[in-house]
Amino acid sequence: MERNNVSFLKPRAIGLIIKASGLLPSTIAFIALFLVCSVLVALFEPNVNGFANSLWFMFQVVTTIGLGDFTATSFVGRAAAVVLSVYSVFFLALITGVVVSFCSERMRARRGESIAHFLDQLEHLPELSTEELTELSEKVKSLKGAAKRNS
């Protein structure tokens, strides 16, 4: 898959962004912390029965949805929830920032490519066909209209 054709609806795209940004170690640390906290809750929390339920409880902690299915009452369970929730707030904010930055950079690059193509067409006006001139004229009208709307 080419980076220029990354679809943001695919989990693989997020993985590529994480890897390219150097956040892979932080992501692995987050997943490891999530699993360790889940194991601790499964072992020490009397209100949570089994590893699957502890994973669900930790998911609620990370996403802050807190449905109330389970509550931590032991010191270990509460400590695991606090540690994971604090780490996840920063980690998820970091991931969000990286994805937004990546998207902004791609849009800036596309805009730069469009401007370069537009300037190239302007430099070669005598060589353009009637269709290309018409298309260029429509682009200019579109840009003028957008500029007026933004003013």
- Burial of 114 from C-beta contacts in 10 A (0-12 / 13-18 / 19+): exposed
Supply the pLDDT for residue 75.
Answer: 95
Per-residue model confidence (pLDDT) at position 76:
95
Asked if 117 and 106 count as a contact pair (C-beta separation under 8 A), the reply is no
Mean per-residue pLDDT over the chain, rounded: 84
Q: Which residue has the higher pLDDT, 78 or 111?
A: 78
Decide if 84 contacts 62 (C-beta within 8 A).
yes
Cβ neighbours of residue 33 under 8 Å, at least 6 residues apart? 83, 84, 87
What confidence score (pLDDT) does residue 9 get?
53
Picking from 74, 98, 72, 96, the residue whose alpha carbon sits closest to that of residue 85 is: 72
Q: State mean pLDDT over 107-112.
A: 72
Q: Does CATH number 1.10.287.70 belong to domain 3-150?
A: yes
pLDDT tens sequence across 72-92: 899 999 999 999 999 999 999
Nearest Cα to 83, choosing from 52, 43, 49, 38?
Answer: 38
For residue 102, pLDDT over 90 is answered with no
